[in-house]
């Protein structure tokens, strides 16, 4: 066990590890797990990885969970980094890749966060979990809670893609659909959790989902033979994946695995819900709530994110940017990537392609640079968007 403490991402206050905590007890911002990386590095070595289990628990020393028997796994992570030659050719790019997260359990990258959050909940004695979700996080929580034998309570907008609702019901969750957005669902969980005895696993409102998501960064480095790509294009809702990768890069530098060079982090949002794009353009550190949020890319319909400043800090210090794309553009990209590469992307993942086209048009990326698009989920879960 290499955890030293939990640290507030805003005020830096130290909190004790192995205690059930949500947000910073002083300022209410997200808590992050800190490790003794020198100690972790004694057994976790680049060379030691090749023989390890082909899931995200291969990075065990930099993940929480003390007792191995508390790990709740369905085989998540270690997804392929696919070359996208044909798509690259149409853009004049030689080194274009798709990190295909649709190959995770429950078909999205949300499995990464939930395997760690549910394992920790089990370790810390939680019996009931609750989450507000745009869809995929709910499906993942339902599956991992079932696997752990825990009860879970899910709150989603009524117009969430049907596949997400059905998968939760079929994996034993208690599902409530509300008129409103994910923020309204979050408010409902917050209002009821104390009386009901639920542990709130809203993204970044507990410290462990981001630990699972950070393995995207470790995997990318390992799959790129420890030379990170030049540009990462990532669809951003709550931003946990982007924040997690950024954390992973810092940890890997401390482990001596990579240097100080970082990929340019490009956050993609839908034009109908683009709080981070707006705050980035306006030079703000915190994003205002986005009014009348609407997009078919349900995972991007997040009008307010508690980790907004962490997303914006990472984008800015990497020399990256934030780009909005329309629903028309991202839906057309689903079919284009599908036909050229055989990957049926979630609309959120497909949004990376029109974003790349905008970067090219702005001369913000060069054809010889190595670019990774993150397909965060599976198109098959959004059938109503393709009829």
Ligand X SMILES: Cc1ncc(COP(=O)(O)O)c(C=O)c1O
Closest CA to 290 of 302, 280, 300: 302
Residue 237 interacts with ligand X (CB under 6 A)? yes
Residue 14 interacts with Zn ion (CB under 5 A)? no
Q: Which residues, including other chains, have CB under 8 Å from residue 179's CB and lie 6 or more apart?
A: 157, 158
Q: Quick check: helix, strand or coil at residue 87? A: helix
Residue 240 interacts with ligand X (CB under 6 A)? yes
Stretch touching ligand X by CB under 6 A, among 5-13, 216-224, 238-246, 324-332: 238-246
| CA–CA distance, 308 with 177 (Å, rounded to integer) | 26
240 binds, among ligand X, Zn ion, none (CB under 5 to 8 A by kind): ligand X
Bridge partners (DSSP) of residue 178 are 157
26 binds, among ligand X, Zn ion, none (CB under 5 to 8 A by kind): Zn ion
| CA–CA distance, 228 with 225 (Å, rounded to integer) | 8
Closest CA to 130 of 120, 141, 119: 141
Residue choice 22, 108, 171, 295 for contact with ligand X (CB under 6 A): 108
Question: What pairing do the DSSP bridges indicate for beta strands 199-200 and 321-325?
Answer: unpaired
* Four-residue CA torsion sign, 5, 7, 13, 18: negative
Of residues 34 and 99, the one with the C-beta less far from Zn ion? 34
Residue 134 interacts with ligand X (CB under 6 A)? yes
Residue 383 interacts with Zn ion (CB under 5 A)? no
Q: Quick check: helix, strand or coil at residue 297? A: coil
| CA–CA distance, 274 with 280 (Å, rounded to integer) | 10
Residue 238 interacts with ligand X (CB under 6 A)? yes
Residue 11 interacts with Zn ion (CB under 5 A)? yes
Residue 303 interacts with ligand X (CB under 6 A)? no
* Cα dihedral value 361, 93, 343, 275, nearest 10: -30
Residue 105 interacts with ligand X (CB under 6 A)? no
Residue 2 interacts with ligand X (CB under 6 A)? no
Residue 377 interacts with ligand X (CB under 6 A)? yes
Tokens representing 157? 């907008």
Residue choice 77, 239, 320, 379 for contact with ligand X (CB under 6 A): 239
121 with 113: CB under 8 angstroms? no
Q: Which residues, including other chains, have CB under 8 Å from residue 264's CB and lie 6 or more apart?
A: 230, 231, 232, 318, 319, 320, 321
Closest CA to 223 of 200, 260, 248, 240: 248
Q: Which residues, including other chains, have CB under 8 Å from residue 48's CB and lie 6 or more apart?
A: none
| CA–CA distance, 222 with 245 (Å, rounded to integer) | 13
239 binds, among Zn ion, ligand X, none (CB under 5 to 8 A by kind): ligand X
202 binds, among ligand X, Zn ion, none (CB under 5 to 8 A by kind): none
Tokens representing 249? 């890069």
Residue choice 348, 355, 359, 365 for contact with ligand X (CB under 6 A): 348
Residue 299 interacts with ligand X (CB under 6 A)? yes
Q: Quick check: helix, strand or coil at residue 368? A: coil
Q: Which residues, including other chains, have CB under 8 Å from residue 65's CB and lie 6 or more apart?
A: 71, 116, 119, 120, 123
Residue choice 258, 346, 371, 373 for contact with ligand X (CB under 6 A): 346
Of residues 119 and 298, the one with the C-beta less far from ligand X? 298
- The distance of closest approach from Cβ of residue 67 to ligand X in the complex, given in angstroms and rounded to an integer, is 28
Map the footprint of ligand X across residues 197-216, applying CB under 6 A: 203
| CA–CA distance, 220 with 51 (Å, rounded to integer) | 17
Stretch touching Zn ion by CB under 5 A, among 7-15, 44-52, 135-143, 322-330: 7-15
Stretch touching ligand X by CB under 6 A, among 132-140, 170-178, 334-342, 363-371: 132-140
| CA–CA distance, 262 with 268 (Å, rounded to integer) | 18
Residue choice 79, 202, 236, 295 for contact with ligand X (CB under 6 A): 236
8 binds, among Zn ion, ligand X, none (CB under 5 to 8 A by kind): Zn ion
Map the footprint of Zn ion across residues 115-144, applying CB under 5 A: none
* Polymer length of the chain: 387
Map the footprint of Zn ion across residues 20-79, applying CB under 5 A: 24, 26-27, 29
Residue 241 interacts with ligand X (CB under 6 A)? yes
Residue 306 interacts with Zn ion (CB under 5 A)? no
Residue 235 interacts with ligand X (CB under 6 A)? yes
Contact positions vs Zn ion (CB under 5 A):
8, 10-11, 13, 24, 26-27, 29
Contact positions vs ligand X (CB under 6 A):
108, 134-137, 203, 235-241, 299, 346, 348, 376-377
């Amino acid at each position: 066990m290499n955890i030293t403490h939990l640290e507030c991402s805003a005020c830096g206050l130290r909190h004790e590890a192995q205690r059930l905590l949500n947000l910073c007890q002083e300022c209410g911002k997200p808590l992050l797990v800190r490790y003794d990386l020198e100690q972790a590095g004694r057994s976790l070595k680049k060379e030691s990885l090749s023989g390890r289990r082909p899931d995200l628990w291969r990075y065990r020393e930099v993940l929480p969970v003390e007792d191995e028997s508390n790990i709740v796994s369905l085989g998540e992570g270690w997804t392929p980094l696919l070359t996208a030659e044909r798509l690259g050719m149409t853009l004049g790019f030689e080194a274009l890749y798709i990190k295909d997260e649709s190959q995770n359990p429950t078909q999205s990258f949300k499995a990464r966060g939930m395997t760690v959050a549910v394992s920790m909940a089990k370790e810390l004695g939680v019996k009931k979990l609750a989450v507000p979700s745009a869809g995929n996080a709910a499906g993942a929580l339902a599956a991992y809670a079932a696997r752990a034998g825990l009860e879970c309570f899910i709150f989603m907008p009524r117009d969430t893609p049907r596949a997400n609702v059905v998968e939760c019901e079929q994996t034993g969750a208690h599902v409530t659909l509300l008129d409103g957005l994910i923020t309204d669902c979050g408010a409902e969980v917050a209002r009821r959790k104390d009386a009901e005895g639920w542990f709130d696993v809203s993204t970044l409102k507990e410290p462990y989902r981001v630990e699972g998501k950070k393995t995207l960064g470790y995997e990318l480095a390992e799959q790129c033979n420890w030379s990170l790509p030049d540009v990462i294009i990532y669809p951003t809702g709550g931003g946990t994946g982007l924040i997690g990768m950024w954390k992973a890069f810092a940890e890997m530098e401390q482990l001596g695995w990579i240097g100080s060079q970082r990929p340019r982090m490009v956050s993609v949002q839908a034009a109908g819900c683009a709080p981070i794009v707006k705050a980035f353009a306006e030079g703000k550190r915190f994003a205002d709530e986005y009014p009348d949020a609407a997009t078919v890319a349900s995972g991007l319909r997040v009008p307010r994110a508690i980790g907004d400043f962490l997303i914006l800090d990472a984008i800015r210090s990497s020399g990256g940017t934030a780009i909005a794309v329309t629903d028309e553009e991202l839906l057309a990209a689903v079919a284009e990537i599908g036909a050229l590469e055989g990957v049926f992307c979630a609309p959120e993942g497909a949004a990376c392609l029109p974003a790349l086209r905008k970067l090219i048009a702005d001369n913000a990326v060069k054809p010889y640079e190595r670019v990774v698009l993150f397909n965060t989920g599976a198109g098959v879960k959004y059938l109503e968007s393709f009829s």
